[in-house]
Amino acid sequence: MTKRPADSENASAPAARQVPMRDFSRSLPMLLLRAREAVMRQFRPSLREHGLTEQQWRILRALASIEAAEVTELARTAFLLGPSLSRILRDLEARNLIERKTAKADQRRSMVSISRDGVKLMASVAPSSEAIYAEITQRFGARKLAELQEMLGELERSLAAPGAADETTAEE
């Protein structure tokens, strides 16, 4: 699994490369990507059994926690772009997992809510989902996990909006 054949060829590779650029596999974006993938890899099989993708699950979870929402608000909550959300909502509606109705006061807005079927589906996924989360917590350590979550939040906040300085000393 770790060894590859044809390694005899490598003996003839040029030497070169003094500065390996500090191993780009340790760069922050790569570490975040890999960490997230490692986490999601735990969840995907269970979601898949229930016919849900990661994004669909995010939407249902978001809806379950906020009752009804406008599409724009839902996009913000589930961290999806409008076009992605638009497509996924179309599919979820066709599967009767959500419901939409145009807002009375503003014909442009549509209110989205989870349907009875959607609630049932969530109920059937939640147990295994929570078990997996618990397993992750146990493997990595609850204390460390909390720390990590805190740092991730801080990182996001420290990189938000302002173009230059940090927000605690923002002059606005």
**Of DNA, a second copy, none, which one does residue 55 interact with (CB within 5 to 8 Å by kind)?**
DNA
**Of a second copy, DNA, none, which one does residue 53 interact with (CB within 5 to 8 Å by kind)?**
DNA
* 5 lines the binding site for DNA (CB under 7 A): yes
Smaller CB distance to DNA: residue 3 or 139?
3
* 142 lines the binding site for a second copy (CB under 8 A): no
Interface with DNA (CB under 7 A), residue from 42, 55, 77, 137: 55
**Of DNA, a second copy, none, which one does residue 95 interact with (CB within 5 to 8 Å by kind)?**
none
**Of DNA, a second copy, none, which one does residue 101 interact with (CB within 5 to 8 Å by kind)?**
none
Binding window for a second copy (CB under 8 A); candidates: 53-61, 82-90, 91-99: 53-61
* 53 lines the binding site for a second copy (CB under 8 A): no
* 158 lines the binding site for DNA (CB under 7 A): no
Q: What string of DSSP letters covers the chain?
A: ----S-GGGGGGS----S--TT-GGGSHHHHHHHHHHHHHHHHHHHHHHTT--HHHHHHHHHHHHHSEEEHHHHHHHHT--HHHHHHHHHHHHHTTSEEEEE-SS-TT-EEEEE-HHHHHHHHHHHHHHHHHHHHHHHHH-HHHHHHHHHHHHHHHHHTSS-SSS-GGG---
Q: Which residue carries 């049932």 as its tokens?
A: 120
Interface with DNA (CB under 7 A), residue from 62, 85, 97, 121: 85
